[in-house]
Chain A
């Protein structure tokens, strides 16, 4: 048996299966939501002048005249190969989303690459100097920044760094034709805003995870052996805290994907978040559906990765007796 010789492999397979199952459930939830469309939806979208014929054509276009399971499997099969059907403005959804999804991923990845190391570093510092001035200072700042709405942070940064100091442009409309540096320069403000929002949570949770581990007897043992405090944290506490930290980071990255929506609108960044908001305003359901599925899939995959990291990083699972 595979699971006998490698218990860790069995667990990984189990998590993968669970992740797949939740993806399936989420796709059903998102799809069924559309089946709850109120009756007057067609006339709401098409306007008051809609004739019964145009309404019928509209419903046929949405596939509302077909039974639910058939529509669902058609939609799912299409979604798997990136074909989400046509938007209400008759462009293929994939064409509306395509390049913008890439832009959003670029924004999120850049933020994560900068924010995650800083968060873990600052969290470790806070845990090391727990209840000392530096810890109190950082904790107070992060508590404040958690309660601020994203657009507040975004506009404050815009006011100071763009309008007053002219370091960065106020708008982040990037195009593929721009070179790398130009794009980075324009993305700076959205990245900074997202960093502020996610860093605080990640830092606080890193600190909490480390402090939780620090109360274990083996840390006391290390202390009694006379090891320096920093070495205790890095060698004894941190490896055991990787699991919890990884899951917090994953949750925050998933949050990053959603938080991107507001930030993209503030800075007019051509990403999928802005596409989704526009589609919601125009009630362009196929586009909204596709965006929701992409966001939800990201969320699930990130959580799955966190699960896997915490399994793989758990020393007790790595060395089975």
Chain B
């Protein structure tokens, strides 16, 4: 199945330009995917324009009363230090999404690079990397992350590097498997016979053909990374205060739950809504990239 879809997927699209293609794809998208796109769009806008949307500054203490109730001045009340809750949520979008995005990109760069290398070179290189990945993957992610955080300490940079490296093992497997399908195809062997170098083959033959698979995986991996960072921050070992982050906002304001106040659930639902939205979009992309052979 994958071979035919892979050979059909590269730049074989009709002569329409990219904007027209995107509009065409969107017209055919199911409701769930469109809902997901709208949700993701809203989050991205909030993240990018946070300083202009938010009523106060990220670290600004606006009230003497911690845990102030909802009011006109502070629409969602204040947090444990008297900072505006709504402002913190908007800035939280910027921090949580930004860091998760960078981490996922890095994970794809690492995992994709080594995965394609392993598939292209085969032999002992493949063996060494694959067994290394097996070893890392036999320890549960969250546990391994916690272990490494204990050793290196939880700074933003450490957090990004640790999660990216651990998550790249998954991407290694995906890109290796899909590259394996491609390297045996005739046109890649033809390029080898032509005398093209390894680099040329990877960039011009292999990468374009596994890119659709990697792109459709991106959403899933982003969700995973995003949830891990939120969970770590919730546990108090992820992003450190005073940085606004949804996971740690839940943690810091959790006492309000005991008095029946739903404010701490808002950042938690922000996390949940985004993952649902991204999952909807990713689901659609995934079925598109695997169903290409049926359409064409």
In the complex, the answer to whether B235 meets A277 with C-beta atoms within 8 Å is yes
Cα(A283)–Cα(B265), bound, Å? 29
Kindly specify which of A22-30, A53-61, A77-85, A207-215 makes contact with the partner chain: A22-30
Q: Is A178 an interface residue (CB 8 A)?
A: no
Q: Is A307 an interface residue (CB 8 A)?
A: no
Residue tally, chain B, CB below 8 Å to A: 43
In the complex, the answer to whether A149 meets B231 with C-beta atoms within 8 Å is yes
In the complex, the answer to whether A292 meets B151 with C-beta atoms within 8 Å is no
Q: Is A151 an interface residue (CB 8 A)?
A: yes
Write the chain A residue with the least CB distance to B264.
A155
Q: Is B259 an interface residue (CB 8 A)?
A: yes
Cα(A265)–Cα(B142), bound, Å? 14
Contacts of B138 in A (CB 8 A): 22, 25-26, 296, 299-300
Q: Is B37 an interface residue (CB 8 A)?
A: no
Contacts of B168 in A (CB 8 A): none
Q: Is B234 an interface residue (CB 8 A)?
A: yes
B146 contact from A34, A149, A151, A280, Cβ within 8 A: A280
Contacts of B223 in A (CB 8 A): 147
In the complex, the answer to whether B258 meets A152 with C-beta atoms within 8 Å is no
Q: How close is B259's CB to chain A, nearest CB, in angstroms?
A: 7
B153 contact from A44, A144, A148, A265, Cβ within 8 A: A44
Chain A residues 105 to 137 lying within 8 A of chain B, measured CB to CB, are none
Contacts of B236 in A (CB 8 A): 277, 281
Cα(A25)–Cα(B265), bound, Å? 41
In the complex, the answer to whether B237 meets A159 with C-beta atoms within 8 Å is no
Q: Is B143 an interface residue (CB 8 A)?
A: yes
Known: A156-B265, A280-B237. A170 touches B272 (CB 8 A): no
Cα(A33)–Cα(B150), bound, Å? 10
Q: How close is A47's CB to chain B, nearest CB, in angstroms?
A: 14
Contacts of A37 in B (CB 8 A): 151
Describe A's contact surface by its main secondary structure: helix
In the complex, the answer to whether A151 meets B234 with C-beta atoms within 8 Å is yes
Q: Is B262 an interface residue (CB 8 A)?
A: yes
Most interface-central of B147, B153, B227, B230 (chain A CB within 10 A):
B147
Q: Is A242 an interface residue (CB 8 A)?
A: no
Contacts of B260 in A (CB 8 A): 159, 163-164
B139 contact from A30, A146, A284, Cβ within 8 A: A30
Q: Is B250 an interface residue (CB 8 A)?
A: yes
Known: A147-B223, A163-B260, A277-B236. A155 touches B150 (CB 8 A): no
Q: How close is B282's CB to chain A, nearest CB, in angstroms?
A: 10
Q: Is B45 an interface residue (CB 8 A)?
A: no
Q: Is A20 an interface residue (CB 8 A)?
A: no
In the complex, the answer to whether A163 meets B257 with C-beta atoms within 8 Å is yes
Q: Mark A84-116, 1 if CB is under 8 A from B, else 0.
A: 000000000000000000000000000000000
Known: A265-B235, A292-B146. A152 touches B272 (CB 8 A): yes
Q: List 8 A-B contacts (CB under 8 A).
A: A30-B139, A30-B147, A38-B152, A152-B268, A170-B257, A281-B236, A285-B150, A288-B146
